[in-house]
Structure 1
Amino acid sequence: MSEAGPFTLARFEPLVGTRFMLWLDDETGLPAQLVEARAAPGSRPGFSLTFEGPPEPALPQHIYRLQHPQLDALDLFLVPVARSAAGLHYEAVFG
């Protein structure tokens, strides 16, 4: 990881549109695309990431391990926030 650490908006913005692997356990993973990385509204610090996963299974809010070829493995608390025709959206918020 960079000296700024793994959890910065600048670290994730170039990865929008790329695929992560979201691990349900040691053997079962699902593809999850990073569809948005945005700063918190107003002058508040922080940012959020939105991932789109397959329509099934619908995952509960939980800490999931995500992997990407350009990052070390990350354990993120993901919350389901929306359903689209393409799949389910999950959000991670950093304050």
Structure 2
Amino acid sequence: MDVVSLDRFAPCVGEGFDLDMGTGSLALTLAEASPLPAHNLSRARRSPFSLLFRSGSPIVLPQRIYRLKHARLGSIEVFLVPVARDRSGILYQAIYN
């Protein structure tokens, strides 16, 4: 994937991603892909956006770069930050600006 963009991820909302844990994988679902406000970024290569992934696991992973795999998008490295916990699991956010 050359320049990661919202247009590439938006069709994948609701679909599964595998987070490579080294010794196995953790299933994530892309819960949301939304644009962020562009603050005077006329020379930016892309418009800023946010991705929210949901994990059904009760274990909170630390923020860091993870390799995610998706059936259509292939493999991509993403910096994920745990941002919330609810009855359905943990939410992780990736921000591209």
TM-score exceeds 0.5:
yes
Instruction: Indicate the residue corresponding to 2:54 in structure 1.
Output: 52
TM-score relative to the length of structure 1: 0.87
Aligned CA distance change for structure 1 residues 84 and 6 (closer, same or farther; 3 Å):
farther
Mapping of residues 36-51 of structure 1, within 5 Å: 36-41=32-37, 43-44=38-39, 45-51=47-53
Are 1:22 and 2:24 counterparts? no
> CA RMSD for the aligned pairs?
1.3
Identity across the alignment (%): 41
What do residues 13-55 of structure 1 show as CA deviations (whole Å, max 9, x unaligned)? 0000000001111x310100000000003x4430010000123
Matched residue count: 90
TM-score relative to the length of structure 2: 0.86
Q: Is there any run of 5+ residues in structure 1 with no aligned partner, and where?
A: none
Instruction: Indicate the residue corresponding to 1:88 in structure 2.
Output: 90
Instruction: Indicate the residue corresponding to 1:34 in structure 2.
Output: 30
| Superposition misfits of 4+ residues, deviation over 3 angstroms | none
